[in-house]
């Protein structure tokens, strides 16, 4: 074999066993985040059904194996979006609700949310109170992580906005000791004295397949990862199974949360899939407006296409309540003022009567004493 042929074979073998990532430096954090958002923005509409399991684990090691310490709370989730319109409903069966007790981790996943991009409704199904917001671009996250927003959209927005700051974040290719393979980004957590480590997968749409938040001393706060993912016909990569672990060092408790997608339907959602049954809630209030409290009637439905009309209804209800409260307050003040005047009169009488009595008694004693003195003087004169 010619030396040149051996050299070619050697170079080929070396190239075969040398990772491609070693041939190029890791992209800066801002580029990685931009590619992540580019993947997440491919799908403009989607229908998704998923299951949520929430409970406790005996240890972090058990949680990493998805081993619950006792049967978890299991909920059914429905989520759909079309442009700026989005609707989320997470429900537990009555059997689950009946067996919840104080020893179980408080479930944070009973809720319903809907937005049209201008108004936002959110209500906790276990607490029958709905909240109405005028926040425009309010995120549809709430307490439940959505299948396409598992790590929190606003959190990544903050990372993206600050990732160009010098020294804020750094990136590198992962090594053998890392939890997963891909591009690793390390940056400050939103919690003081904590570091956030995220691993993105360039082969699957830059999905954040692993995240770990820990203190500067290495104490775990929480970690989450994607076990499975798939590619939709549109080309967008989406997660199928997501696991979240939260550790509480003071109590040594470990919370375990899993989300498994059962269906991704790329069809356009119909209008009736953007409805909220308001009669499930005892009242609906508008944030920042204490007088805007609305009590829904039986069977009343809030449609995403009528959220502006509902906002006007809240304004009208608020004005009526404010006027009523004002009139009641005026009547109370007037009634209270009149009562106060009589109270002052009786108080004055109560003070004057003792004073007058005391004055009369003193006057009478003084006069009697003077009369006795005059009589004594007269007797003395006659005796002389």
Q: Dump pLDDT digits (tens) for 318-371.
A: 999 888 877 665 554 455 555 566 666 666 666 665 666 666 666 656 665 555
Domain boundaries, the chain: 28-109+144-273
What pTM value is reported for the model?
0.72
Q: Give the pLDDT score at 360.
A: 64
Judged on CB neighbours under 10 Å (0-12, 13-18, 19+), 275 is: middle
Q: How confident is the model at residue 24 (pLDDT cuts 50, 70, 90)?
A: confident
Q: Give the pLDDT score at 155.
A: 65
Instruction: Please tell me the least confidently modeled range out of 94-108, 200-214, 282-296.
Output: 94-108
Measure the CA angle with vertex 21, ends 15 and 23; round to 5°: 60
For strands 283-286 and 129-133, give the pairing. parallel
Measure the CA angle with vertex 75, ends 225 and 153; round to 5°: 45
- Helix (H), strand (E), coil (C) string for 17-30: HCCHHHHCCCCCHH
Cα–Cα distance measured from residue 82 to residue 149, given in angstroms and rounded to the nearest whole number: 15
Q: How far is CA 210 from CA 113, 122, 219, 226, 341, in A?
A: 27, 29, 17, 7, 72
Q: Enumerate the β-bridge partners of residue 115.
A: 86, 120
Instruction: Please tell me the least confidently modeled range out of 13-27, 93-107, 210-224, 304-318.
Output: 93-107
Q: What percentage of the chain has pLDDT greater than the value 90?
A: 37
Q: Give the pLDDT score at 326.
A: 72
Cα–Cα distance measured from residue 20 to residue 182, given in angstroms and rounded to the nearest whole number: 12
- Tell me which residue has tokens 């006069």: 367
Cα–Cα distance measured from residue 191 to residue 197, given in angstroms and rounded to the nearest whole number: 13
Q: How confident is the model at residue 138 (pLDDT cuts 50, 70, 90)?
A: very low
Q: Give the pLDDT score at 75.
A: 84
Judged against a pLDDT cut of 50, whether residue 278 lies above it is answered with yes
Query: How does the average pLDDT of the chain come out, rounded?
Result: 78
Judged against a pLDDT cut of 90, whether residue 82 lies above it is answered with yes
- Start-to-end CA distance of the chain, whole Å, equals 172
Judged against a pLDDT cut of 60, whether residue 250 lies above it is answered with yes
- Identify the DSSP state of 166: T
**Using N-to-C axis directions, what is the helix angle for 29-40 and 153-162, rounded to 10°?**
140
- Tell me which residue has tokens 């990772």: 19
Tokens of 207: 């999905």
Q: How confident is the model at residue 145 (pLDDT cuts 50, 70, 90)?
A: low
304 CB neighbour count, 10 Å cutoff: 22
**Which of 107, 124, 112 lies closest to 72, judged by CA?**
107
Q: Give the pLDDT score at 144.
A: 52
Instruction: Please tell me the least confidently modeled range out of 26-35, 244-253, 337-346.
Output: 337-346
**Which of 67, 89, 68 lies closest to 78, judged by CA?**
89
Task: Classify domain 28-109+144-273 by CATH number.
Answer: 2.50.20
- Identify the DSSP state of 306: G
Residues 6+ apart with CB under 8 A from 321: 291, 292, 293
Q: How far is CA 383 from the centre of its chain?
A: 107
Higher pLDDT, 43 or 189: 43
Q: Give the pLDDT score at 6.
A: 44
Judged against a pLDDT cut of 60, whether residue 56 lies above it is answered with yes
């Amino acid at each position: 074999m010619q030396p040149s042929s051996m050299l070619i074979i050697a170079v080929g073998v070396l190239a075969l066993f040398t990772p491609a990532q070693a041939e190029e430096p890791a992209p800066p954090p801002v580029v990685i985040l931009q590619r992540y958002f580019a993947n997440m923005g491919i799908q403009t509409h989607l229908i998704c059904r998923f299951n949520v399991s929430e409970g406790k684990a005996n240890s972090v090691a058990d949680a990493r194996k998805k081993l619950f310490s006792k049967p978890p709370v299991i909920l059914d989730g429905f989520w759909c979006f079309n442009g700026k319109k989005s609707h989320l409903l997470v429900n537990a069966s009555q059997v689950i609700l009946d067996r919840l007790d104080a020893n179980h981790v408080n479930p944070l996943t009973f809720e319903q949310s809907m937005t049209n991009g201008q108004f936002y409704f959110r209500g906790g199904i276990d607490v029958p109170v709905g909240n109405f917001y005028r926040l425009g671009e309010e995120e549809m996250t709430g307490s439940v992580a959505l299948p396409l927003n598992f790590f929190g959209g606003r959190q990544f927005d903050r990372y993206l906005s600050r990732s160009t700051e010098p020294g804020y974040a750094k990136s590198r290719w992962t090594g053998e000791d890392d939890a997963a393979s891909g591009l690793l980004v390390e940056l400050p957590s939103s919690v003081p004295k904590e570091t956030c480590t995220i691993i993105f997968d360039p082969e699957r749409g830059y999905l954040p397949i692993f995240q770990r938040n820990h203190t500067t001393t290495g104490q775990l706060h929480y970690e989450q990862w994607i076990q499975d993912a798939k590619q939709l016909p549109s080309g967008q990569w989406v997660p199928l199974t997501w696991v979240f672990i939260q550790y509480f060092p003071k109590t040594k408790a470990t919370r375990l949360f899993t989300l498994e997608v059962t269906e991704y339907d790329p069809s356009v959602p119909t209008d009736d899939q953007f409805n909220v049954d308001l009669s499930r809630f005892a009242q609906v209030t508008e944030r920042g407006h204490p007088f805007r409290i609305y009590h829904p009637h039986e069977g009343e439905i809030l449609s995403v296409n009528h959220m502006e009309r509902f906002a006007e209804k809240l304004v009208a209800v608020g004005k009526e309540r404010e006027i009523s409260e004002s009139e009641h307050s005026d009547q109370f003040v007037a009634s209270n003022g009149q009562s106060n005047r009589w109270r002052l009169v009786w108080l004055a009488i109560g003070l004057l009567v003792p004073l007058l009595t005391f004055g009369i008694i003193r006057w009478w004693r003084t006069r009697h004493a003077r009369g006795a003195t005059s009589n004594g003087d007269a007797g003395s004169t006659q005796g002389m």
